[in-house]
């Protein structure tokens, strides 16, 4: 069987600098074209009275040929004696930057084509910078169209010096510069007789010299949890934590830690289909595990080994970002962040600087990140996530940002900044310092009401009977002459939250509205009661913060989905409702929230 | 990990990502070798199970062995198997074999149209009932918002431009000039109401990889792919009026691999036996219209 090594390479550069011609040449000169393809394209050119060009081999689509530019990345395959290659032809036209990034993000090495005659252009620089940010480590610069400058060594050396200076400024060291003429075939597959002054490798030789990415097995174990499977209906009781190992390795019997929840367990088995029994899973494998203990883990958590170097956990971090969205990235607008298998609501908190990649001028004064900008900024998620800085682990330090259903930007995390004040804390501080109170003080209300105000949240899994208890509590308190109010969350969905639709991305905003509502109703002196399914630590911490300076009380029913948070009161699920109410009322009395309670 | 391990891992990751993100998801199974490998990869991804319905478009001109094979494994692997068809065009004989249309139009009616309306739920879906062991009209009419398709980038030009997750608007239109970016392994999993996403887990596989994987995993494929002693075999499967076998002595999977690597097919396009491709516009015109 054929176990040949394979490498993804991307070809980038300014429009019309000859990327497609380079690829056409590589395919033709390595004999990688399907039989008849070359003839078919030549025939098509003849029919349309156009001179044949190697670039046409790639321009597989009609509208593309009509426009004469590469619209999307096309993939093609060729092989040398050393290995197989997938070439990703990335479009050079500025409109198609996102396609270029798509291509480059999959590549291990890059060929950057610059027209020796036309010289360094905007996208020569922009692409150089993007390729660096995307993590492509090996870049070779092809000085193309040397035939147009008389194969002049001076022109080549000048271009090499200028572009090297640019790359140094962005901390990129190119592997090599090669003078070529893709159209004529010089220095592609064989050494050019017209540039004997050049002693370096041909393009094909250079490709074979690129080294495949360093093994990720030796790095600390990182496993973004993609999903949890239990196919009970097919008579399968395994509860499998599924995903792809991003780095490192793990064995059966290893202790594992899930972040950000902080839950721990031990790997009981490595699961697979139609293979031998496995006891270890390593970087790159799409696999699954069963755990020795039943713990509640969600997709999006990062599974690591406690004994190894730990990832960051936080909600505020400094990033390098590039933006390709039609609409600019705005401060304080909610976006969706995808990093590893985690998804989170994210806001642009601060813009540190933006960089115009074409002339490398930076601006510290911009208030938004425009399409095609590269920038450094601070992002903040509504809840903490686990991640790495890209210097530690690339696969878990890269993210994309979704705006209006589209991936609109991407980048790498540079630093965890979670110690600073969060946007939510800023908001509460700002809200409270401007809060306009009436003349009635909280103590006066409590004295007249004969109870204190309180925000009571019932949590627990669905079906634990928390709604029944919450409603009965409202009724009991009311019958005892107290101002209690139960609000069903479904009412909020259809009312206050009607503008949010059913999209799951708005969970953070729903929570914020409940918290703001609680702040108002507790200020009015009420005992405000509601329920939340499967609340986790951050849900409750967020509600607590939003309700400040008033108090929250958390009653959990059944198994707790909290990892650190201690609910004020823990009740069993499935019990008698009246008994549960009595327990809550007794607790309220003990806490001096209410004075007396008669059943 | 060798190259097949890497391809498998990436495809499994894509399948799981689709399963995680799309509530109404299906997988197209043409019965051909590629989508059969994809089905196998789903069993890999979900540890022996296939929790995604499989949709087959029955043109009624498929080679009979293909249908027998489909139903055998639908039962054996406990698949949620669904087929759809263009009953109207078949009843009115608006087909190429009936002499009433050209090949491309026939494809459009029996495949593209049937597919479009089966996915949207407008036309009946027939689901395998595992107890009665036959197909019954399905009650489920919910449109599929995620459709997993086994296209490969090396098949022909337009497919080389696909994304792993590729949006289609409500008319199935693929705007090749304005596709979403895919950075690293983050795909377009958010979609506006009225649109759907096609998911392509096999994009990076070559024809040779497919056969190598079939050999390694011992995946059962339709016998039409092998020379049964007459010196011919099918390299690509479709409807019998428009699909021609190729001259080949390959009787086994290793012999097919040898043929692809160094033998007579190393430089001949895979779909050369598919007649509709050579008509004006060919596959590209069909694909713009929703053909897979």
Quick one: A180 and A36 in the same domain?
yes
Q: Taking a C-beta distance cutoff of 8 angstroms, is the pair A107, A8 a contact?
A: yes
Question: Are A271 and A127 in a shared domain?
Answer: no
Structural domain for A581, as ranges: 436-590
Strands A263-271 and A286-291: antiparallel
Cβ-Cβ contacts under 8 Å, A99 against chain B: 179, 181
Report the chain B residue with the minimal C-alpha distance to residue A217.
Answer: B1
B181 vs A98: CB contact, 8 Å cut-off? yes
Q: Which secondary structure element, helix H or strand E, spans residue B53, and what is its range?
A: none
Both A562 and A494 in one domain: the answer is: yes
The answer to whether residue A540 scores a pLDDT higher than 80 is yes
Which residues are A506's β-sheet partners?
A: none
Closest Cβ opposite residue A234 in set B49, B182, B212: B49
The long-range contacts involving A191-196, CB below 8 angstroms and separated by at least 24 positions, are: A192/A146, A192/A151, A194/A146, A194/A147, A194/A151, A195/A146, A195/A151, A195/A153
Judgement on whether residues A269 and A133 belong to the same structural domain of the protein: no
Inter-chain CB proximity B161 and A105 less than 8 Å: no
Is the pLDDT at A66 greater than 50? The verdict is no
pLDDT at A34 (0 to 100) = 66
Chain-chain contact of B184 with A2 (C-beta, under 8 angstroms): no
Q: What is the mean pLDDT of residues A473-480?
A: 94
Long-range contacts of A461-466 (CB under 8 A, 24+ apart): A461/A533, A461/A534, A461/A558, A461/A559, A461/A561, A461/A573, A462/A533, A462/A534, A463/A573, A464/A557, A464/A558, A464/A573, A464/A574, A465/A557, A465/A573, A465/A574, A465/A575, A465/A577, A465/A580, A466/A531, A466/A555, A466/A557, A466/A573
**A393 lies in the same domain as A463:** no
Q: Can you spell out the DSSP letters for A401-460?
A: EEETTEEEEEEEEEEE-TTSPPHHHHHHHHHHHT----S--HHHHHHHHTB--EEEEEEE
Residue A430 lies in a domain: no
Residues of chain B with C-beta less than 8 angstroms from the C-beta of A229: 46-47
pLDDT band for position B204 (cuts 50, 70, 90)? confident
User: Residue A292 gets which letter from DSSP?
Assistant: S
Q: Of A361, A393, A420, which one is at a domain's C-terminal end?
A: A420
Query: Does the distance separating the beta carbons of A72 and B179 come in below 8 Å?
Result: yes
* A214 in any annotated domain: no
The number of beta carbons lying within 10 Å of the beta carbon of residue A435 is 10
Q: With beta carbons under 8 A apart, name residues in chain A contacting B204.
A: 75, 86
Domain boundary among A304, A328, A353: A304
Chosen from A70, A75, A133 to mutate, greatest number of chain B CBs within 10 A = A75
Chain B CB contacts of A62 below 8 Å: 284
- Residue B17 has its nearest CB partner, among A226, A398, A399, at A226
List the one residue out of B15, B27, B78, B77 whose CA is nearest residue B52.
Answer: B27
- Residue contact A286–B46, C-beta within 8 A: no
Residues on chain B touching A272 (C-beta within 8 angstroms): 44, 47
Distance from CA of A215 to the nearest CA of B (A): 11
pLDDT band, very low/low/confident/very high, at B170 (cuts 50, 70, 90): low
Asked if B188 and A395 come within 8 Å (Cβ–Cβ), the reply is no
**CA nearest to A584, candidates A475, A461, A428:** A475
A-to-B residue pairs, Cβ atoms closer than 8 angstroms: 160
Residue A496 and residue A445 share a domain = yes
* Residue B201: partners with Cβ closer than 8 Å, 6 or more residues away: B10, B11, B12, B14, B15, B18, B38, B41, B148, B150, B164
Among the partner-chain residues A61, A71, A98, the one whose CB lies closest to the CB of B157 is A61
Q: By percentage, how much of chain B surpasses pLDDT 90? A: 52
- Under the banding of pLDDT at 50, 70 and 90, the label for residue A60 is very low
A462: in domain: yes
| The pLDDT value given to residue A62 | 36
pLDDT at A357: 55
CATH number for the domain spanning A442: value is 3.40.50.300
Supply the angle between the helices B207-217 and B3-21 in degrees, to the nearest 10.
90
Is residue A85 domain-shared with residue A230, that is, in the same domain? no
**Mind listing the pLDDT tens digit for each residue in A488-533?**
988 888 888 888 876 656 777 888 899 999 999 999 999 999 999 8
A341 shares a domain with A283: no
Residue whose C-alpha is closest to residue B195's, from B119, B141, B284, B287: B119
The dihedral sign for the CA sequence A262, A264, A267, A272: negative
Question: How far from A264 is each of A253, A260, A396, CA to CA, in Å?
Answer: 13, 11, 20
- Residue A264 domain flag: yes
pLDDT band at A125 (very low <50, low <70, confident <90, very high): confident
- The residue in chain A having the minimum alpha-carbon distance to the alpha carbon of residue B190 is A405
A112 and A246 belong to one structural domain: no
The mean pLDDT value of chain A amounts to 86
Question: What total of structural domains would you count in chain A?
Answer: 4
Q: Which of B8, B153, B160, B271 has the most A C-beta neighbours within 10 Å, making it the best mutation to test the interface with A? A: B160
Chain A nearest-CA distance from B31, in A, is 21
Do residues A91 and A140 share a domain?
A: yes
**Contact B184/A398, CB-based, under 8 Å?**
yes
- A179 and A149 in contact (C-beta within 8 Å)? no
Residue A386 placed within a domain: yes
User: On the CB side of A390, how many CA atoms lie within 13 Å of its CA?
Assistant: 18
Contacts B269 to A, Cβ<8 Å: 34-36
Instruction: Examine the fold and report which residue of A420, A450, A470 is the final residue of a domain before the chain moves on.
Output: A420
Task: Determine the pLDDT at residue A354.
Answer: 78
A427, part of any domain: no
Residues A135 and A27 in one domain: yes
Query: What value does the mean pLDDT take over residues A414-428?
Result: 80
Of all residues in chain A, the percent with pLDDT exceeding 90 is 46
- Which chain A residue's Cα is nearest to B283? A61
Averaged pLDDT, A27-31: 82
* Better-predicted residue by pLDDT, A163 or A57: A163
Q: B78 vs A236: CB contact, 8 Å cut-off?
A: no
d(C-alpha B169, C-alpha B190), whole Å: 13
The answer to whether the CB atoms of A272 and B153 lie below 8 A apart is no
Q: Is the CB of B192 less than 8 angstroms away from the CB of A101?
A: no
Question: Which one is predicted more confidently, A254 or A211?
Answer: A254
Residue of B nearest to A275 (CA): B217
Nearest chain A Cα distance for residue B88, angstroms: 32
Element (H, E) at A354: strand A342-356
* Residue A155 φ/ψ, nearest 5 degrees: -60, -45
Residue A505 lies in a domain: yes
Beta-carbon count within 10 A of A268 CB: 14
A338, part of any domain: yes
Residues A576 and A451 in one domain: yes
With bands split at pLDDT 50, 70 and 90, how would you rate the model's confidence at A126? Answer: confident
- Among A5, A74, A240, beta carbon nearest to B160: A74
Pairwise CA distance, residues A587 & A469, whole Å: 14
Residue B263 or A50, more confident: A50
Closest CA to A530 of A580, A471, A573: A471
Look up the CATH number of the domain holding residue A357. 2.40.30.10
pLDDT given at position A551: 87
Q: Which stretch of A214-228, A475-489, B52-66, B157-171 has the lowest confidence by average pLDDT?
A: B157-171
List, in order of start, the domains of chain B with CATH numbers: 3-205 (3.40.50.620), 207-277 (no CATH)
- Name the pLDDT band for A64 (thresholds 50, 70, 90): very low
């Amino acid at each position: 069987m054929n176990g040949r090594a394979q490498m993804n390479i991307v070809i980038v550069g300014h429009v019309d600098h000859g990327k497609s011609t380079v690829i056409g040449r590589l395919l033709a000169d390595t004999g990688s074209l399907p039989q008849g393809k070359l003839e078919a394209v030549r025939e098509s050119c003849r029919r349309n009275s156009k001179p044949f060009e190697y670039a046409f081999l790639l321009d597989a689509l009609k509208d593309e040929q009509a426009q004469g530019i590469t619209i999307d990345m096309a993939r093609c395959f060729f092989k040398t004696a050393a290995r197989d290659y997938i070439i990703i032809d990335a479009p050079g036209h500025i409109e198609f930057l996102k396609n270029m990034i798509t291509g480059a993000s999959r590549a291990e090495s890059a060929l950057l084509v610059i027209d020796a005659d036309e010289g360094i252009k905007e996208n020569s620089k922009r692409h150089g910078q993007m390729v660096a940010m995307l993590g492509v480590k090996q870049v070779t610069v092809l000085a193309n169209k040397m035939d147009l400058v008389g194969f002049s060594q001076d022109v080549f050396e000048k271009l090499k010096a200028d572009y090297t200076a640019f790359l140094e400024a962005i901390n990129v060291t190119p592997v090599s510069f090669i003078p070529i003429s893709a159209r004529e075939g010089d220095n592609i597959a064989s050494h050019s007789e017209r540039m004997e002054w050049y002693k370096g490798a041909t393009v094909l030789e250079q490709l074979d010299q690129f080294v495949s990415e360093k093994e990720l097995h030796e790095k600390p174990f990182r496993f973004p949890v993609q999903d949890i499977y239990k196919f009970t209906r097919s008579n399968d009781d395994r509860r499998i934590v599924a995903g792809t190992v991003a780095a490192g390795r793990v064995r059966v019997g290893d202790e594992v830690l899930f972040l950000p929840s902080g839950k721990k367990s031990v790997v009981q088995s490595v699961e697979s289909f139609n293979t031998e029994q496995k006891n270890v899973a390593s970087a790159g494998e799409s696999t699954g595990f069963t755990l020795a203990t039943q713990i509640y883990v969600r997709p999006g958590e990062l599974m690591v080994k406690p004994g190894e170097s730990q990832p960051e956990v936080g909600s505020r971090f400094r990033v390098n970002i590039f933006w390709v969205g039609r609409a600019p990235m705005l401060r304080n607008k909610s976006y969706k962040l995808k990093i590893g298998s985690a998804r989170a609501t994210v806001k642009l908190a601060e813009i540190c600087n933006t960089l115009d990649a074409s002339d490398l001028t930076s601006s510290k004064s911009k208030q938004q990140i425009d399409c095609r900008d590269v920038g450094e900024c601070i992002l903040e998620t509504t809840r903490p996530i686990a991640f790495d800085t890209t210097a530690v682990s690339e696969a878990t330090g890269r993210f994309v940002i979704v705006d209006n259903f589209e991936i609109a930007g991407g980048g790498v995390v540079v630093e965890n900044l979670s110690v600073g004040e969060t946007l939510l804390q800023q908001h509460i501080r700002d809200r409270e310092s401007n809060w306009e109170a009436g003349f009635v003080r909280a103590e006066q209300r409590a004295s007249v009401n004969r109870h204190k105000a309180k925000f009571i949240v019932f949590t627990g899994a669905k079906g634990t009977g928390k709604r029944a208890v919450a409603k009965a509590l409202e009724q009991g308190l009311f019958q005892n002459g107290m101002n209690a109010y139960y609000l069903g969350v479904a009412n909020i969905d259809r009312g206050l939250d009607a503008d949010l639709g059913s999209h799951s991305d708005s969970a953070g905003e729903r929570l914020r509205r409940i918290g703001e509502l609680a702040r108002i109703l507790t200020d009015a002196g009420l005992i405000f009661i509601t329920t939340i399914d499967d609340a986790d630590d951050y849900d409750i911490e967020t509600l607590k913060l939003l309700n400040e300076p008033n108090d929250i009380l958390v009653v959990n029913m059944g198994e707790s989905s909290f990892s650190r948070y201690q609910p004020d009161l823990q009740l069993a699920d499935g019990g008698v409702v009246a008994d549960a109410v009595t327990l809550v009322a007794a607790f309220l009395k003990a806490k001096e929230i209410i004075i007396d309670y008669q059943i | 990990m060798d190259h097949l391990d890497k391809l498998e891992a990436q495809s499994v990751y894509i399948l799981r990502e689709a399963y995680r993100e799309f509530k109404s998801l299906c997988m197209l199974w043409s019965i051909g070798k590629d989508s059969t490998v994809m089905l196998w990869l789903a069993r890999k991804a979900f540890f022996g199970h296939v929790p995604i319905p499989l949709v087959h478009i029955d043109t009624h001109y498929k080679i009979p062995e293909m249908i027998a094979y489909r139903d055998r494994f639908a039962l054996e692997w406990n698949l949620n198997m669904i087929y759809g068809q263009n009953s109207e065009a078949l009843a009115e004989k608006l087909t190429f074999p009936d002499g009433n249309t050209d090949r491309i139009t026939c494809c459009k009616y029996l495949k593209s149209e049937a597919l479009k309306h089966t996915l949207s739920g407008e036309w009946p879906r027939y689901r395998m009932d595992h107890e009665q062991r036959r197909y019954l009209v399905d009650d489920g009419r919910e449109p599929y918002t995620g459709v997993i398709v086994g296209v490969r980038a090396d098949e022909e030009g337009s497919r080389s431009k696909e994304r792993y997750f590729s949006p289609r608007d409500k008319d199935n239109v693929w705007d090749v000039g304005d596709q979403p970016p895919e950075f690293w392994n983050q795909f377009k999993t958010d979609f506006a109401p009225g649109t759907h996403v096609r998911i392509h887990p096999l994009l990076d596989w070559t024809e040779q990889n497919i056969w190598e994987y079939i050999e390694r995993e011992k995946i059962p494929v339709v016998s039409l792919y092998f020379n049964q002693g007459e010196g011919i075999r099918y390299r690509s499967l479709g409807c019998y009026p428009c699909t021609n076998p190729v001259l080949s002595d390959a009787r086994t999977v290793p012999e097919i691999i040898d043929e692809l690597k160094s033998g007579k097919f190393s430089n001949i396009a895979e779909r050369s036996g598919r007649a509709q491709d050579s008509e004006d516009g060919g596959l590209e015109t069909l694909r713009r219209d929703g053909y897979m």
